[in-house]
Chains A and B, each alone.
Chain A
Amino acid sequence: MAKMTGAQAILESLKREGVDVIFGLPGGVLLPLYDAIYSSEVRHILVRHEQAAAHAADGYARATGKVGVCLATSGPGATNLVTGIANAYMDSVPMVAMTGQVNTNLIGRDAFQEADITGITLPITKHNYLVRKASELPRVFREAFHIARTGRPGPVLIDLPRDVTVEELEYSYPELHLPGYNPSTKVHQLQIKRAAEALMSAERPVIYAGGGVRYANAHQELFELALKLNAPVTTTLMGVGVFPEDHPLSLGMLGMHGTKYANYSIQGADLILAVGARFDDRVTGKIASFAPRAKIIHIDVDPAEIGKNVRVDIPVVGDARNALAELNKFVTQKPWSAWNERVSTWKCDYPLCYQKDESVIKPQLVVEKLCEVCPDAIIVTEVGQNQMWAAQFFTHKDPSRFISSGGLGTMGYGFPAAIGAKVGRPDCQVIDVAGDGSFQMNIQELATAVINDIPVKVAVLNNGVLGMVRQWQTLFFGERYSHTTLGQVPDFVKVAEAYGALGLRATKPSEVEDVIREGLASDKPTVMDFIVAKDEKVSPMVPAGASLSEILELES
């Protein structure tokens, strides 16, 4: 036992949890904690807006598999984290968010910069804490990290009143005691056998894999199972890369902007094996007509996901890796079947494609070129058309190299998340595939990247419009473009230069590859501004509320 202040206890606990970086921004009530950080070994990255701290912690967590940590002051600092916390919650990202709070004797009195952040984040955290005594700190931190990273991961918030960080305590790191928290990881053998039998007797199986496969590190087990069964594999946006997309069994992504062949396969299947996925509405389309002929096996670590949106025939609660490894013991090699032939025909007949153009840069071309030049890059995306093209036209082969805001769909996520990813994996090229709308939502983080020497690359697919909303206006609102035109303002090259980053621009298709090569070769944070076709649409598309069978090819 050692005597120390609350602030020191916080840093000691972070050290014990293996935290090597914090993304944060100080404020009044955090002064004692920041004073302790000043003389600590932990790396602190000063962001320019707290939202970016949360997204950076999220990107760091997704890129490394470790718990991301962010820190913001009380009141507005804490509320600025909210979007980032909600984002992490929707995508099950392990995160610990620390917030400052006013002194305990002022809580509830509407003190300066007071916000009830535990109340505010109640529905968007896996759990949260308001620490009232310094002596609680070691236990709270121990629990918070455990909860954030185990079971179905998620964000945990710790609210730290100023006086708690000053108060002294006898420090000892306690054993875990969480009687109400027992995430099930082991799988039920009987259910595994039932699932294996169903898979062996299925004639038209499809594996539908989500982000859970990635978090459970289950991609190898998935690969083995798919090959044994000769079962085509489609992934959700969160699962992009968990199955190599250049493999003959890969169907790419399914759902609203999934491939035609993935959606047709789902609709034609007699058995769907869902792993670590949650039957989101963007995936299923009209739920009543989703996979109408299929039995459903659902493997998920969160029992509440099973049966939430669709009826499930064989539920398997447990860690995806354990479950798939168990399944592999009970299935044997199945031959290439008529079903495989049919799926292959669909793949040939309905490839992802776009109208090439010699004079105007097509956004898809930029993504293809990125893939060509740097196939191993970690691709982070913003939200909207850029995100869908990044998912569709980059050949994703690695389970931890595609980072995107799936559930919440947070514009402004990509750039700070890319900063976090680059901090976590400095040896990888990290590219934020951005739109001009999304990029402007956290563009101030160019300062963070430049000053901390974090050479992320931003590929702005600059069409001067809020493209995805505009696409819907074109299709469903009679081309009435209400407030979706941004105009090509600002000049991103000049903005990049103003911040001390490198700015490059391509206006013609012939310039795309050179700009990419030059941008990626630079050791500076770089903004590559690609002036792209304004009216390009993300295709194919299942209109919201329609069945997956009603997938449309859209002309630009």
Chain B
Amino acid sequence: MKHTIAVIVENKPGVLTRISGLFSRRGFNIDSLSVGATDNPDYSRMTITVNCDEETLEQVIKQLSKLINVIRVSQLEPKESVERELAIIKVSANRENRPEIMQLVSIFRAKIIDVSPRSVIIEVTGDEEKVDAIERLLRQFGIKELARTGKVSMVRGTKVVQP
């Protein structure tokens, strides 16, 4: 079962190592991890997805909370949160198939951010399934390169995960 947790951490050197080290030492598996600054420069926010049972998830949350540089750990329920991932995908393209690619891009409300005679780079944002879907459909044209950000997530409504 996949779970998403938001972790507010102090923006200090070595904090990412502490978190990833904790996961490897305790045998927890990270599915994806994304990290970036928050509105407060003292803190960063990580979104971590883990694939584990409920008991392991409880341990993940408790063990993370014990780290001195971790300010807050919250589990995000998929039904109550919005989740986004961004991918940029370089696809082989030529005069013949470019219209078809552009059509796909339009259906997925993705964007073409770079064009060359033999390739295009597509930017797509959405939940994991959407990114998976466009990746699948683009495969027929030949994916040359792909970079995904990992998920970021936020609770719907007025509830917040803050330090």
A interface residues (Cβ-Cβ under 8 A, vs B): 118-119, 122-123, 126-127, 130, 147, 178-181, 302-304, 307-308
| 10 additional contacts (CB under 8 A) given A180-B71, A308-B59 | A118-B14, A122-B17, A123-B22, A123-B25, A178-B68, A179-B10, A179-B71, A180-B9, A302-B66, A304-B63
Considering the complex of A and B, which 3 residue pairs feature the smallest CB-CB distances, nearest first?
A304-B62, A127-B68, A180-B71
Question: Which residues of the other chain, A, contact B25 by a CB distance below 8 angstroms?
Answer: 123
Q: With A180-B69, A302-B66 known to touch, is A307 a contact of B58 (CB < 8 Å)?
A: yes
Interface centre among B21, B62, B71 (most CB of A within 10 A): B62
User: Is B55 part of the contact surface with A, judged by Cβ < 8 Å?
Assistant: yes
Q: With A180-B68, A304-B62 known to touch, is A122 a contact of B163 (CB < 8 Å)?
A: no
Interface centre among B9, B71, B163 (most CB of A within 10 A): B71
B62 contacts which of A118, A178, A303 (Cβ < 8 Å)?
A303
Question: Which residues of the other chain, B, contact A304 by a CB distance below 8 angstroms?
Answer: 59, 62-63, 65-66
Question: Which residues of the other chain, A, contact B68 by a CB distance below 8 angstroms?
Answer: 126-127, 147, 178, 180-181
Task: Give the complex CA separation of A308 and B56 in angstroms.
Answer: 9
Within 8 A of A (CB), among B3-58: 9-10, 14, 17-18, 21-22, 25, 55, 58
Task: Give the complex CA separation of A127 and B62 in angstroms.
Answer: 16
Task: Give the complex CA separation of A119 and B9 in angstroms.
Answer: 18
Task: Give the complex CA separation of A307 and B70 in angstroms.
Answer: 21
* 23 A-B pairs whose Cβ atoms sit less than 8 Å apart in the complex: A118-B14, A119-B17, A122-B21, A123-B25, A126-B68, A178-B68, A179-B10, A179-B71, A180-B9, A180-B10, A180-B67, A180-B68, A180-B69, A180-B70, A180-B71, A302-B66, A303-B62, A303-B65, A304-B62, A304-B63, A304-B65, A304-B66, A307-B58
Task: Give the complex CA separation of A303 and B64 in angstroms.
Answer: 11
Task: Give the complex CA separation of A123 and B69 in angstroms.
Answer: 14
Question: Which residues of the other chain, A, contact B63 by a CB distance below 8 angstroms?
Answer: 304
Counting residue pairs across A and B whose Cβ atoms lie within 8 Å, the total is 36
Whether B21 lies near A123 (C-beta < 8 A) is yes
Chain B interface size band reads: 20 to 34
Chain A min CB distance to B161 (Å): 14
B interface residues (Cβ-Cβ under 8 A, vs A): 9-10, 14, 17-18, 21-22, 25, 55, 58-59, 62-63, 65-71, 163
Question: Which residues of the other chain, A, contact B62 by a CB distance below 8 angstroms?
Answer: 303-304
Question: Which residues of the other chain, A, contact B18 by a CB distance below 8 angstroms?
Answer: 122
Closest chain A residue, CB of each to CB of B8? A180
Question: Which residues of the other chain, B, contact A127 by a CB distance below 8 angstroms?
Answer: 68
Chain A min CB distance to B27 (Å): 12
Chain B min CB distance to A314 (Å): 16
Question: Which residues of the other chain, B, contact A123 by a CB distance below 8 angstroms?
Answer: 21-22, 25
Task: Give the complex CA separation of A126 and B18 in angstroms.
Answer: 11
Closest chain B residue, CB of each to CB of A179? B71
Question: Which residues of the other chain, B, contact A181 by a CB distance below 8 angstroms?
Answer: 68
Task: Give the complex CA separation of A303 and B59 in angstroms.
Answer: 9
Whether B163 lies near A179 (C-beta < 8 A) is yes
Closest chain A residue, CB of each to CB of B67? A180
Task: Give the complex CA separation of A145 and B43 in angstroms.
Answer: 24
Task: Give the complex CA separation of A180 and B25 in angstroms.
Answer: 21
Closest chain A residue, CB of each to CB of B163? A179
Task: Give the complex CA separation of A179 and B10 in angstroms.
Answer: 9
Closest chain A residue, CB of each to CB of B72? A180
Task: Give the complex CA separation of A127 and B17 in angstroms.
Answer: 13
Question: Which residues of the other chain, A, contact B22 by a CB distance below 8 angstroms?
Answer: 123
Interface centre among A118, A127, A179 (most CB of B within 10 A): A179
Chain A min CB distance to B21 (Å): 5
Task: Give the complex CA separation of A119 and B16 in angstroms.
Answer: 12
Task: Give the complex CA separation of A180 and B7 in angstroms.
Answer: 11
Closest chain B residue, CB of each to CB of A126? B68
Chain B min CB distance to A50 (Å): 24
Chain A min CB distance to B159 (Å): 20
Question: Which residues of the other chain, B, contact A178 by a CB distance below 8 angstroms?
Answer: 68
Question: Which residues of the other chain, B, contact A122 by a CB distance below 8 angstroms?
Answer: 17-18, 21
Closest chain B residue, CB of each to CB of A178? B68
Task: Give the complex CA separation of A179 and B59 in angstroms.
Answer: 21
Chain A min CB distance to B113 (Å): 36
Interface centre among A119, A127, A304 (most CB of B within 10 A): A304
Closest chain A residue, CB of each to CB of B62? A304
Task: Give the complex CA separation of A118 and B69 in angstroms.
Answer: 15
Task: Give the complex CA separation of A341 and B21 in angstroms.
Answer: 50
Question: Which residues of the other chain, B, contact A118 by a CB distance below 8 angstroms?
Answer: 14
Closest chain A residue, CB of each to CB of B10? A180
Closest chain A residue, CB of each to CB of B55? A307
Task: Give the complex CA separation of A126 and B22 in angstroms.
Answer: 12
Task: Give the complex CA separation of A126 and B67 in angstroms.
Answer: 8
Task: Give the complex CA separation of A132 and B59 in angstroms.
Answer: 33
Task: Give the complex CA separation of A307 and B57 in angstroms.
Answer: 11
Question: Which residues of the other chain, B, contact A126 by a CB distance below 8 angstroms?
Answer: 68
Question: Which residues of the other chain, B, contact A119 by a CB distance below 8 angstroms?
Answer: 17
Task: Give the complex CA separation of A308 and B47 in angstroms.
Answer: 24
Chain A min CB distance to B5 (Å): 15
Chain A min CB distance to B134 (Å): 38
Closest chain B residue, CB of each to CB of A308? B59
Question: Which residues of the other chain, A, contact B10 by a CB distance below 8 angstroms?
Answer: 179-180
Closest chain B residue, CB of each to CB of A147? B68
Question: Which residues of the other chain, B, contact A302 by a CB distance below 8 angstroms?
Answer: 66
Chain B min CB distance to A380 (Å): 29
Chain B min CB distance to A536 (Å): 38
Question: Which residues of the other chain, B, contact A307 by a CB distance below 8 angstroms?
Answer: 55, 58-59
Task: Give the complex CA separation of A327 and B67 in angstroms.
Answer: 30
Question: Which residues of the other chain, B, contact A308 by a CB distance below 8 angstroms?
Answer: 59
Task: Give the complex CA separation of A308 and B59 in angstroms.
Answer: 7
Task: Give the complex CA separation of A179 and B66 in angstroms.
Answer: 12
Task: Give the complex CA separation of A371 and B133 in angstroms.
Answer: 74
Chain B min CB distance to A126 (Å): 8
Task: Give the complex CA separation of A122 and B17 in angstroms.
Answer: 9
Closest chain B residue, CB of each to CB of A132? B13
Chain B min CB distance to A156 (Å): 9
Chain B min CB distance to A302 (Å): 7
Task: Give the complex CA separation of A181 and B68 in angstroms.
Answer: 5
Task: Give the complex CA separation of A168 and B157 in angstroms.
Answer: 51
Task: Give the complex CA separation of A123 and B21 in angstroms.
Answer: 7
Task: Give the complex CA separation of A500 and B69 in angstroms.
Answer: 49
Question: Which residues of the other chain, A, contact B55 by a CB distance below 8 angstroms?
Answer: 307
Question: Which residues of the other chain, A, contact B14 by a CB distance below 8 angstroms?
Answer: 118, 130
